[in-house]
Amino acid sequence: MTVLRQRMIEMMTVRNLSPSTQYSYIGHVARFAKHFGKSPELLGPNEIREYQLYLINVRKVSKSRLVQVVCALRFLYQVTLEREWPMSYIPYPKRERLLPHVLSRSEALTFLDAMHNVKYRAIVTTAYAAGLRMAEVLNLRIEDIDSKRNVIRVVQGKGRKDRYVMLSPKLLEMLREYWKTDRPPGPLLFPGSDPHRPLRQTSVSYVCRKVRRSLGMKKPVTMRMMRHSFATHLLEAKADVRTIQLLLGHRSLDTTARYTHVSRASVCATPSPFDITDDGDTN
């Protein structure tokens, strides 16, 4: 391990960045250095701009990946190397404002019913019933399921924050069914082949794709879509946006508010002018 990489890891650890973020940042910096065949210490704003254009024009990476690269390079040069550059030297791409894809409640239940493996059905149902991210579900420990208080404790979710979410009685029943069938040997609720490590996210994604194809569903059903559906269906059930924000673990209310743009309760509240008659009534 190079001295620079070790120093960057130490700086990220001190700032309490998650292991996945550290892994991502180190990977992006390593690919940046490999592209020029030089240490990042010998590279500057011109090379950064050239690399960004390469990612956009040649690699055609997504906006979200480009943002990750910028975050990694900003951390490297402004925190680790303490370069006193203007922020404009490493610009962020303009973020696309995309609305989340969601399932109807009947689509979500149909999809869950089609999952015949008890473990995977419990995993995906937890994402929908509690609004958890995939990593949050897979890192749940048995002790995080508090059946007496009917809550699930999410330990160090995104942003390194703990929070509580509701524990649906129907979900608790399903988790108990899964427990009787699989009997996880370690502390993790959903372990992989190693009882001390969580199941791989790729395994869950593979099963979701397989079930979606078996149902002939056109929507790309994912764990993230289940989380989006959780928020949208709560909003349609007249739940408070602030409450949904706390359940999802969003830092900004603006992030949660985007679900109002896909909620039928909001979108369909006003009739289309095509349905308005001359006397002002709707057909």
Indicate the helix (H) or strand (E) that contains 65: helix 63-74
pLDDT of residue 274: 55
pLDDT of residue 102: 87
Class of domain 3-89: mainly alpha
With H, G, I as helix, E, B as strand and everything else as coil, classify residue 166: strand
pLDDT of residue 239: 82
pLDDT of residue 101: 81
Distance linking the first and last C-alpha atoms of the chain: 70
Q: Tell me: pLDDT of 89 over 90.
A: no
**Mean pLDDT, the chain, as a whole number?**
87
Position 29, amino acid: V
Percent of the chain with pLDDT over 90: 63
- Which range, of 6-20, 96-110, 144-158, 204-218, averages the lowest pLDDT? 96-110
- Which range, of 20-24, 120-124, 186-190, averages the lowest pLDDT? 20-24
Q: Please tell me which residue, 10 or 232, carries the higher pLDDT value.
A: 10
pLDDT of residue 258: 67
pLDDT of residue 1: 65
Domain ranges of the chain: 3-89, 105-267
pLDDT tens-place string over residues 228-271? 999 888 888 888 888 888 888 877 777 666 666 556 555 455 55
Q: Please tell me which residue, 279 or 158, carries the higher pLDDT value.
A: 158
pTM (two decimals)? 0.69
pLDDT of residue 263: 60
Confidence of residue 222 (pLDDT cuts 50, 70, 90): very high
- Supply 208's token pair: 């979701």
What fold, for 105-267? Answer: hpI Integrase; Chain A (1.10.443)
- Which residues 6+ apart lie within 8 Å of 2 measured at CB? 39
With H, G, I as helix, E, B as strand and everything else as coil, classify residue 165: strand
pLDDT of residue 20: 83
pLDDT of residue 234: 86
Please count the other Cβ atoms lying within 10 Å of the Cβ belonging to residue 13.
Answer: 11
